[in-house]
Amino acid sequence: MFEAPEIIRNIPDIKAIYDMNEKQGENLETEVERMDNNLFLESMDEAMTARWEAMLEITKADNDTLQDRRFRIKSRVLERRPYTEKAIGERLKLLCPDGFSVSVDEKRQQVTIKLALKSQKMVDDVKKYMEDILPLNMTFSIDVLWNQYKILTGKRYADITKYTYGELREKVIV
């Protein structure tokens, strides 16, 4: 509430003006915060994500989460040539902060990438990203890094038996 003498605060017109100003101030703060969030790919809202998708001509899938869509945009923004092994590693660090490993077999012209990602959709996006950036004479394979035993501790046996051994090793277990 505004600071004014009691006699002025009781005037209905003055009170209405200050209430309106206070509401406008709150709306302004909300909009400034939204604009700050939209400056970064990791925190942009639905509307800004849709604008980026339109600019980059990305078609979203029906079951995509906002995080999946942001990730896809981020992978497209990072598409710039020429690429070296070091540059690919730097870009993968940005895309996969949870971890990854890259090995290059120059004789066979094969790149093997293992990713620590939370979603299979992200693996598909990294595959598309690598298709776009690697030279055409190179092949690549992308796998998910194996789950560690500590992920499974605390899970009930009944919950774990739903999965095959391969799924327990490579699938994201919730």
List, for residues 72-82, the tens digit of each pLDDT value: 898 888 776 55
Q: Return the pLDDT at 172.
A: 63
Q: Which of 92, 89, 87 is nearest to 126 (CA)?
A: 92
48: which residues sit within 8 A by CB, 6+ positions away? 38
Instruction: Return the amino acid letter for 7.
Output: I
170: which residues sit within 8 A by CB, 6+ positions away? 143, 144, 146, 147
The total of other beta-carbon atoms located within 10 Å of residue 88's CB is 19
Query: Strand pairing of 100-105 and 139-144?
Result: unpaired
Q: Return the pLDDT at 150.
A: 67
Across residues 33-38, what is the average pLDDT? 89
Task: Give the mean pLDDT of the chain.
Answer: 82
Q: Return the pLDDT at 128.
A: 85
Across residues 86-113, what is the average pLDDT? 82
Confidence grade of residue 54 (pLDDT, cut at 50, 70, 90): very high
* Cα separation, 60 vs 118, whole angstroms: 19
pTM for the whole structure: 0.49
Has residue 1 got a pLDDT over 60? Answer: no
- List, in sequence order, the alpha helices (H) in the chain: 6-9, 12-37, 46-56, 66-77, 85-95, 120-133, 149-152, 157-160, 165-170
Q: Return the pLDDT at 49.
A: 93
96: which residues sit within 8 A by CB, 6+ positions away? 115, 116, 117, 122, 126
* Cα separation, 164 vs 34, whole angstroms: 44
Going by the DSSP 8-state scheme, the letter that residue 40 receives in this structure is S
Confidence grade of residue 132 (pLDDT, cut at 50, 70, 90): confident
